Amino acid sequence: MKVVEPQEPKSHGDVSGEATPQFPLIPPPPAPQTPVNAHIPPPAPQQIPPQAHQHPQMPNPPQGYPVSPAPVPQVPVLPQPQATYPEQPVQHSYPVQQAHPQAYAQDAYAPAPPHMPPLPPAPPRNPAAVAYIRAIFSPRGFATLGWIAGAVFAAGLLSALCLLGSLNAAGEGVGGALSLDFGGLLSALFVLLGGSFGGGLVVDGNVDAGFVSASAAAALSIFPLGALAAVAAAVALITKLRMRSEMPPAPSTLTELARAAIEGAAVALIMTMITGFASFGGGVSDFIGVRIHARPAMVFFVLLALITVTLFLARESRRRLQLAQAEGRWARVIREAGRALAVQGTIFGVLALVAIVIVAVKAESFGAFFALLPLLGNVAAAGAALGHFGGITLGSSLGIGQLGMAWDLMGGLSIVLFVVALLSLVMTAGVVGLRRPRTGRLEWNRVWQMPIVVFGVWCLLSLGLVGISLSGSASSFGGLFGFGSVGLSWSTPFLMGLAAGATSIAAEYVPLLAYRMNPALLRAFGGKQTINVWLYGVEPAGYVAAPALSPFPDPAQPHVVTAPSAASVSEQPVLQPPVHGAPAAETPQFQDPMVQNPMAASPQAGGLAPIHPPAPMSKKGKTGLIVTLSVVGMLVVLGGGLAVTVNLLNQERDPAAQVREYLDALAAGNADRAGELVDPGIKTGDRELLTNETLASAQQLIEVVDVETTERSDYGATVLATYSLDGERFEYTFTLESGPKEMVFLDSWKLSQPLLVEASLQSDSLDVLTVGASDVSLDGDDTYGMNYQRTVYLYPGVYEITAPETEFIGTSTEEFRAIPSFEYGNASAQTVRITSTPSEAFEKEVLSQVQKRITQCVEIPTNMDKVCPSITRDKDLAELKVVSQAKDFESISLDSFRGAEAVIAVRSNPTSYNKDPELRESTLRVRGDIEIVDGKPEIKDISIDTGWW
C-alpha cells in the first residue's frame, strides 16, 4: 500500500519553487464509468504518524538544494487501473502562420501574431550532485577547505622542523654550511617542507674558475612515510570533525570522489605554491655555488593522491551509514586489509621508534633522532619486510645487488624481528577475525581477497615508496650521469602477500580459540560491542542492508512511501527522505537490544535471530591447549633468550679485541707472537727482520691508543686502530674475515692483514747494512747508481740503519720511521740510502799504492808497462828516478781516485853524438778505480797522464 502525496504542478526543471508559465494541455479523457474494483469494499483509513514522513537521520540541506513541498497526510487508497492514452500535441493559443508564400504576401501588413514565450532552461541531469559540488564553494565549504589546508601545513611543518633541527644538531646545519641569514633559513624550512610532502630535494651546483667551468645536479627522491602518515591522520581528523556540521551526504559515490578530488587539488596547489618555488643556497667558495630546492610537480601529485584518498575514505563510510546503504562488494575486503596494515604498522612502528632512540643514543646525537622521525614509516616498513624474510637491495648505475637479509644486517638481533612479525600475525588475525561473522568453519570465499589487497599495497611500497634514490649528472667537457637507490627486494610483496594469506586463514580460528581458552582474551582484539556482535551474530551499527534512499528527491516525481503494517508500525520506523527545512537532527546510533540482552530479541518482534556463543572448551582440552601453548611459548622464550645470550657473547667477542691483541704484541716487541696471530703473508727469505731481535732493538715501538669496530656483519668486520709512534698519532684500518663458529653459535674472527712496512735499503759501496741489531745482505745493482739494493719488511717502529764499522770506510747512520701510512700492498716502499766515505786510513792505503805504481815506472823491467809514461819505456837509459812523489789526491772516493802531481826523470846513455846526455824530467798524475777486496781498498784500471792537462 502506498500513500501518494499530491504536489502542485511545476514546470519541468523548476527547482527553485518559483511560478513559471504553464501551457494549456489537452485534458485527459474521462475515467471509465464503472470502476474495476467497485465490488471491493473500501478499507478503513489508516492513520500514519507524521514522523513517518520524516527521516530522523537526515540533516537539513544547505540553501540552494532542491526543496520538496511539505507532505500532506493522505488516506491511502486502493490502486486504480489507469488507461493508456496516446500523446497529443500541445495546442497553442495563438494562430499558426501558414507556410504558403501567397498567403504570407496577403497578410504582410496584418498584425503580427503574438510571440511564443521562451522555454525555461534545461535542468541539470543530476541536480542533487550539482548542488553538492556547488556547496564546496560556499562559506562553509571554504571553511572546511581552510581547515584541511591548515592541518596539512601543520603536519608538514612539524616534519620540516625536525629535519632542520637535525641539521643544526649535527653541527653542519644549512645555516652554518651556506652562511644563511634569517630569510635563508626560512627558505630552507619551506624547501624541507616540500621534501616532507614527498617532493624530494634537488641540488644544483656550478663551478666557474675563469679558465674552466662546470655544472652538476643531484636529485634525492624519498617519500617520508612518517610525515605523510601524519598528514593523512590530520586530514582524516579534520574531516570527521567537520562532518558533524556539514551538508547532507553526497547522493552517490562518484559525487563524493569528485568533491574529494577538487578539495585535494586545491590544497595540493596551495602547498605547491608555498614550497615549490622556495630555494636556498649560495656561494660555498669564490668559485663554487650551490642551490637547493624541492620538486613542485612531485609535491602536487603526492598531496593530490594522498588528500583525495583520505577525504574519500573518511566520508564514504559515513555517507553509506547515513543513507543506510549496503556496503560495496570490496568494502569489507579493503577494510580488513586496512586493519591488517594498521596493526602491522603500529607494532613495527613502535619497534622502529625504539630502534631510532637506540641509534640516537649510540651516536650521541639528537640530530639523528630528529632526522629519522619523518622516516619512521620507512623504517617500520623496512623492519616489517625484514621480519617476513624480505630483503634490502642496493641499486646503482652498475646494476642491482642484494644488500642483505635481516640476519645479514642485524646478526643475532634479527630474531627480535622474527618474533615481532609472528606476534603481529597473531594480533592481526585476532583483530580481523573478530570482525567477521562467526560461522565455526573455514569460509574460503572470504579468505582469499585480503591477501590480494595487501599484496598490491606492498607492490607500491616496494616500487619506491619505502626506499631512497639518488641520481646525479655533471657537465663540463663531457657528460656524466649516475644513480643509486636503496629499497625493498622484489620478493617482499610476495612474502607479505603469503603472510597476509596465513593471517586471513588464522583469522577464522584465532578469536574462537582465544574465547574458548578465556573470553577475556578477546578484549585484546576489540571492544565490548565488537565482541558481542561476534558472539551473538548481530550486524554492526549502520550496516543494515536497506534500499538506498537519496536525501535529494526529484521534485518532478511523486513522494511515495510504503505504508507499514499495523503490527509493526510502532516498532520499526520507515526510512524516508527528510523534510527539508526542518531542524537538523543528530544521526541516532544504532541500538540493538541483543547487544545488551542477546536472547531478548526474536524474529517475530522484528529483530534478528540470535546465535548461541561458542561452547567453552572442556577442562581436559583447555589443559592440553595450555600445556601445548606453554611449551611453545617456553621454546620461543628459550630460543629468544638463547639468541639474546649468544648475541651478547658475540658482542663481547668483538673483532677489535683480536686487533688489540695483535697491536699489543707489536708494542711489547714480541714479533714471534705477532707472527702467530697474523701470518705476514710474505716469503720466508723476506722475514729475516720480523724477529724479536730486530723489533726489540728498535729505538721506539708503537703505543696503542684506541681500537674500535666500525662495521660488522656475518661475513666480516672493519676495525679502526689508533696508535702513536714517536709522539705522533696514526690511524690504520684493519679488515677481518668471519671465521668458523665456535661452540656452534659463537663468532670467531680471522685477521689476515698484517701491519707491515715495506722498505728499500740502498748503499753506494757496501753490500751489508745493519738494521737495528740485524745485518742484512744487499744485492749488487748498478741501476741508477744504487750499487747495492734490497727490499725488506719491518714491523712499525723507529730503527737505526747503518753499515758495519771497518778500518778503511766510514758510513752514515740513518733513522728510519717505519710507519704504515697506507694499507699493506697499496703503498710504495719507503727508501733508505746509506752513503759511505773513505777514511784516513783508506786514503793512506790508496796513496801508498799510487806511489808504489809510480816507483814501478822508474824500475826495470816494470818501466816498460803500458801504463807508464812513454819517457820511461826505453831500454837505452842510463838513469831513471822519481824526482817527487804524489803527496795527496786531487779527488778520491770509495770507487775512484785522481792523484796529485808527481815528477820523474830519466837520462839516456852517452853516444858518439852526445857524450853527456841531460837529465829529462816529466810531470805525471795517476788515476784509476778502487775496489774493496777483503775489506781493503785496491786500485785497478789505473792510467798515468803526463804533460799538461
What pLDDT, on a 0 to 100 scale, did the predictor assign at position 122? 61
Average pLDDT for 286-304:
83
Cβ atoms of 576 and 3 closer than 8 Å? no
C-alpha 562/C-alpha 572 separation (Å) is 13
Q: Per-residue pLDDT averaged across 670-674, rounded?
A: 91
Region 921-931: mean pLDDT is 89
Q: Quick one: pLDDT band at residue 535, thresholds 50, 70, 90?
A: confident
Q: pLDDT at position 427, please?
A: 92
What band does 112 get if pLDDT is binned at 50, 70 and 90?
low
User: Does the pLDDT at position 924 exceed 80?
Assistant: yes
The answer to whether 407 touches 714, Cβ cutoff 8 Å, is: yes
> Are 228 and 339 in a shared domain?
no
Q: How crowded is residue 435: how many other Cβ atoms within 10 Å of its Cβ?
A: 19
Same domain, 672 and 750: yes
pLDDT category of residue 264 using cuts at 50, 70 and 90: very high
**Is 675's pLDDT higher than 50?**
yes
**Measured between alpha carbons, how far is 299 from 198 in angstroms, rounded to an integer?**
6
Are 371 and 162 spatial neighbours (Cβ–Cβ below 8 Å)?
yes
- pLDDT for position 304: 94
pLDDT at 52: 40
pLDDT at 596 over 80: no
* Single residue among 325, 352, 377 that ends a domain in this structure: 325
Nearest to 753 by CA among 669, 663, 653: 663
Taking a C-beta distance cutoff of 8 angstroms, is the pair 474, 215 a contact?
yes
Which helix (H) or strand (E) element contains residue 533? helix 528-536
pLDDT of res. 576: 39
643 HSE (CA, 13 A, CB side):
17
Q: Among 97-106, 159-168, 522-531, which is the least confidently predicted range?
A: 97-106
- Helix residue ranges, H only, 127-224: 127-134, 139-169, 174-178, 182-194
pLDDT confidence bin for 6, thresholds 50/70/90: very low
At residue 824, φ and ψ (nearest 5 deg) are: -60, 130
* Listed residue (5, 155, 161, 130) closest to 62, CA to CA: 130
Res. 211 pLDDT band, cuts 50 70 90: low
Residue bearing the bigger pLDDT, 784 or 394: 394
**Considering only CA atoms, which of 752, 756, 780, 754 is closest in space to residue 766?**
780
Nearest CA among 792, 789, 866 for reference residue 833: 789
- Give 837-857 pLDDT, tens digit per residue: 888 888 898 999 999 988 888
**For residue 531, is it left (φ>0), alpha (ψ between -120 and 50) or beta?**
alpha
Q: Beta 559-562 vs 2-5: how paired, if at all?
A: antiparallel
Residue 512 lies in a domain: yes
For residue range 786-841, what is the model confidence (pLDDT) as tens digits? 578 888 999 999 999 888 777 788 888 888 888 886 544 444 577 888 888 888 88
Asked if 641 and 666 sit in the same domain, the reply is no
* 83 lies in some domain: no
Specify if 785 maps to a domain. yes
Are 739 and 884 in a shared domain?
A: no
**pLDDT exceeds cutoff 80 at 27:** no
Give the three-state DSSP class for 206: strand
Q: Does residue 691 carry a pLDDT above 80?
A: yes
pLDDT (0 to 100) of residue 919:
87
Q: What is the pLDDT of residue 186?
A: 84
Q: What is the pLDDT of residue 466?
A: 85
Under 8 Å between Cβ of 836 and 805: no
* pLDDT for position 875: 83
Tell me the mean pLDDT in the region 635-645.
Answer: 72
The alpha carbon of 41 is separated from its chain's Cα centroid by a whole number of angstroms, namely 82
Cell numbers that stand for 744 in this block: 656452534
Residue 270: pLDDT band by 50, 70, 90 thresholds? very high
Residue with cell 500532506: 72
Q: Judging by DSSP bridges, how do beta strands 288-293 and 392-396 pair with one another? A: unpaired
Answer yes or no: is pLDDT of 509 > 60: yes
510-to-332, 530, 631 alpha-carbon distances in Å: 19, 15, 18
Among 285, 301, 325, the domain boundary falls at 325
Kindly report the number of other CB atoms within 10 A of residue 521's CB atom: 15
Element (H, E) at 756: none
Range of the domain at 477: 328-535+620-652
pLDDT band at 403 (very low <50, low <70, confident <90, very high): low
Q: Are 933 and 815 contained in the same domain?
A: no
- Residues across the chain: 949
pLDDT at 610: 57
Side chain identity at residue 330, one-letter code: W
Task: Say whether both 787 and 704 belong to one domain.
Answer: yes
Confidence band, pLDDT 50/70/90 cuts, at residue 287 = low
Peptide bond into 861 cis (omega under 30): yes
Asked if residue 164 is part of any domain, the answer here is yes
CA contacts within 13 A on the Cβ side of 854: 28
906 contacts: CB under 8 Å, gap ≥ 6: 858, 871, 872, 874, 877, 879, 880, 881, 919, 920, 922
**Is the residue at 578 inside a domain?**
no
90 has pLDDT over 60: no
Per cent of the chain over pLDDT 90 is 14
Domain-ending residue, one of 652, 676, 699: 652
Average pLDDT rounded to a whole number, residues 720-747: 84
pLDDT confidence tier of residue 49, bands split at 50, 70 and 90: very low
Question: Span 570-580, mean pLDDT?
Answer: 38
In a domain, 612, yes or no: no
Tell me: do 432 and 514 sit in the same domain: yes
Residue 938 lies in a domain: yes
Whether 399 and 308 share a structural domain: no
Q: Are residues 705 and 792 in the same domain?
A: yes
Q: How far is CA 838 from CA 646, 765, 805, 846, 934, in A?
A: 69, 10, 12, 10, 15
Model confidence at 784: pLDDT above 60: no
Least trusted range by pLDDT, from 399-403, 834-838, 940-944: 399-403
Pairing of strands 774-777, 768-771: antiparallel
Taking only the tens place, the pLDDT of each residue in 882-891 is 889 988 898 8
**Mean of all residue pLDDT scores within the chain:** 74
Q: Is residue 109 part of a domain?
A: no
pLDDT 10s digits, 599-617: 444 443 334 445 666 766 6
Distance CA 619, CA 183 (A): 74
Q: Is pLDDT at 583 greater than 50 in this prediction?
A: no
Question: What's the pLDDT score for residue 782?
Answer: 54
The confidence score (pLDDT) of residue 284 equals 54
Distance CA 685, CA 699 (A): 24
Both 911 and 921 in one domain: the answer is yes
pLDDT above 90 for 428: yes
Please report which confidence band the pLDDT of residue 579 belongs to, taking 50, 70 and 90 as the band edges: very low
What was the pLDDT predicted at 454? 92
259 and 372 in a single domain? The answer is no
Q: Do 339 and 479 lie in a common domain?
A: yes
In the chain, the number of structural domains is 4
Contact indicator for 704, 660 with CB cutoff of 8 Å = yes
pLDDT exceeds 70 at position 564: no
Task: Tell me the average pLDDT across 247-271.
Answer: 89
- Per-residue pLDDT, 262: 94
**For residues 893 and 889, what is the distance between their CA atoms, to the nearest angstrom?**
10
